[in-house]
Structure 1
C-alpha cells in the first residue's frame, strides 16, 4: 500500500491491527463495522502541517454537556512559560477555561475513547480535556503545542497531536488559523470571502462549527517538531465561541491510574500555580479527585491525610 495512503487511513482511524499466525495484519474497517466512527466525514485539509477535519464528530447533546460541565468553573486561560514551564498569564491568550477530569462521566469517557480510536493514539497519552470560552474580541495568538521547556517535556514528552472540538457555532470570527501553512492543498487555494476575518486570511483556516473536530499533528512522523503546526484562534467578532481541546503526548500522561486516591503527590508541574489560583475549590474532581479516583494535584491542594 502507498505510504501516504496508509498514513491517511491511520489518521482517519479506520485501520485495525490484529495477529494472524506469526504475522501482524492491517485491516481496513468500514463505517458499518465501526459505528462510533464515520471516515466519510473526515477530510484532509493540509499536509503541511498534517491536519484533518471531522464533520459532526460530536453530537449537539455532547457539545451542550461539555459546556454545562464547564460554565460555572471558568478561569482566565494561562500559557506555559518557555523557560520555566510554569503557567503564567499572557495577553496572547485572552480566553477563559477549565479542565475536565478524565473519564469524569460516561459522556466524557465516550468522547475520549472516540478520540483514541480516530487518532490511533492511546487514551493514557492524552491530557485532561480543556474547555475554552471566547467572548467578543478574545483570541489566542499563534503558538505551538509542542514544548520549548524541559519541565513539561519530562511529563509525557512532547504533544504529538491536538484534537480541537468546536462546541458552538460562531457568527463571525473565532477561526483556527495556521499562518505558516501551505496556502494551497492539492493545487487548490482555500477560497475566503467577506465572511472570513483578516486574521483567518494569513494561512489555511478552519471555521468553528458546532460538533466538528480538527486534528493536527505538532510532530513529523520522525518525531521532530513541525514549525508549520504554528496555529492560533482568531478574535471573535460576533457571538461567542466554545471549544474543547485534547492534547496527546508521545508517552503516557496518565499517572493517576498508577496511584491510590489517598497518595500525596502532584502529577503536573503547574499544580502549585493552579492551587494558588483557587483551582482546588473550583475544579475539585481534577485537582483533588473523588472516592476511588485520584486527583492530579493532591499535594498542592493539601488534600493529604496525616498518614500520607
Structure 2
C-alpha cells in the first residue's frame, strides 16, 4: 500500500475520532447501518494534497452507475443557484452557470448503494450527507472558486458546516472542466500539461474522468474552516461535463431537516422556489412534497404547509 495513502487513511480515522470525541455542537456521529455492494478499495485511492486534504478514488463509480445518474437527472435540470453570504437565500449568479438538480436520498438501489460507499470511504455517516446533486456543464459553463462551508448562520443550522465534499465525475471532458484549487499548497509543484486549460494552471487541478471521485475536506481537524479548500470548476472548452456532488455535514443533516420541518414551514433546498414555479410539485411530488412517511424538501414552495 502506498505510504502516503496509508497516512491519509490514518488521518481520516483520526478525523472521525476527533469529531466524535469533541461531540461537535452536542452531536455524536454514529455510522448508519447499510453497506455498499462494492467494497471500499484503498488501492484505488491517491492522496493529492494535505493543504487542503484531498484524495482521488479511481473508478469509484462504474460506467453504468454514471449513466444511470445522468438518466435520473437529465429531464429535471434547472439553472444552478448559489447561497447568499449574508441571508443564506438562493440567488442566481454568473459565478455559477451550470444546470443541476437534486436526487432524493436513497432514491433507488443504485443511489443508496453509492451513498453507502461514500460513507464507507469518508468514515462519515450517511445521515450527515445532503441529497446528491447532479450538475451539467456545457461549453463555456463554469463555477468560479468558492468555499463549500457556509458564511451565514441560517445554513449552518441544518447539520452545521459542510465538513467534506465528494465530487464524482460522470463523464469525460474533451477539454476544460477541471476542478481547480487556487490556494492549494501544491499548486506550484504540480506538473502542468499543454492539454489543460489556462484556468487549471492557476492552481492544483484535477481532470474529470468518468467514474473517478474527488474527496476534499472544508474543515481542519479542529473543525475550523480551511481557506485552502477554495475550489472551482473551470469552464468547459470542448465537450460537456456531468458530475455528482455529495456534501457532508458535521452533524446529522437528516435529523436537522426533520426538526426544521416539525418546527417551521420551510424549504430544505435552495432551488425549491424555482422548481415549484416550473411545475415540479406536480411532476415530482415524492421529492417536492413527500408522503405520509417522508417529508418533502419543498413543502413551503409547494404550499402544502403554512408558516
Confirm or deny that 1:46 pairs with 2:65.
no
* Number of the residue aligned with 2:286: 285
Structure 2 residue matching 1:84: 3-state secondary structure = coil
Structure 1 residue matching 2:185: 3-state secondary structure = coil
* Number of the residue aligned with 2:156: 153
Structure 2 residue matching 1:222: 3-state secondary structure = coil
Deviation at residue 301 of structure 1 after TM alignment: 1.0
Distance 1:210 1:228 in 2: 26
Structure with the higher fraction of residues in helix conformation: 2
Distance 2:60 2:109 in 1: 17
Instruction: Name the count of aligned residue pairs.
Output: 283
Once the two structures are superposed, residues 89-109 of structure 1 have per-residue CA deviations (whole angstroms, 9 ceiling, x without a partner) of: 000100000000000000000
What RMSD in Å do the two structures reach over aligned CA positions? 3.0
**Under a length normalisation based on structure 1, what TM-score does the superposition of the two structures give?**
0.83
Change in CA separation of 1:160 and 1:16 when aligned onto 2, cut-off 3 Å? closer
* Number of the residue aligned with 1:237: 237
Distance 2:170 2:133 in 1: 12
Distance 2:79 2:222 in 1: 35
* Number of the residue aligned with 2:100: 97
- Written as runs of structure 1 = structure 2, the 5 A alignment for 1:205-224 is 205-224=205-224
Deviation at residue 296 of structure 1 after TM alignment: 1.7
Deviation at residue 170 of structure 1 after TM alignment: 0.3
Change in CA separation of 1:282 and 1:255 when aligned onto 2, cut-off 3 Å? farther
* Number of the residue aligned with 1:252: 252
Deviation at residue 235 of structure 1 after TM alignment: 0.3
Change in CA separation of 1:281 and 1:10 when aligned onto 2, cut-off 3 Å? farther
* Number of the residue aligned with 1:197: 197
Deviation at residue 298 of structure 1 after TM alignment: 2.0
* Number of the residue aligned with 2:111: 108
Confirm or deny that 1:136 pairs with 2:139.
yes
Deviation at residue 192 of structure 1 after TM alignment: 1.4
* Number of the residue aligned with 1:118: 121
* Number of the residue aligned with 1:164: 167
Distance 1:16 1:268 in 2: 26
Distance 2:242 2:291 in 1: 27
Once the two structures are superposed, residues 160-182 of structure 1 have per-residue CA deviations (whole angstroms, 9 ceiling, x without a partner) of: 00000000000010000001111
- Written as runs of structure 1 = structure 2, the 5 A alignment for 1:81-92 is 81-92=84-95
**Under a length normalisation based on structure 2, what TM-score does the superposition of the two structures give?**
0.83
Change in CA separation of 1:178 and 1:170 when aligned onto 2, cut-off 3 Å? same
Distance 1:230 1:16 in 2: 22
* Number of the residue aligned with 2:74: 71
Gap runs ≥5 in structure 1: 18-33
Deviation at residue 277 of structure 1 after TM alignment: 4.2
Structure with the higher fraction of residues in strand conformation: 1
1:80 to 73, 79, 83: 83
Confirm or deny that 1:298 pairs with 2:296.
no
Deviation at residue 194 of structure 1 after TM alignment: 1.0
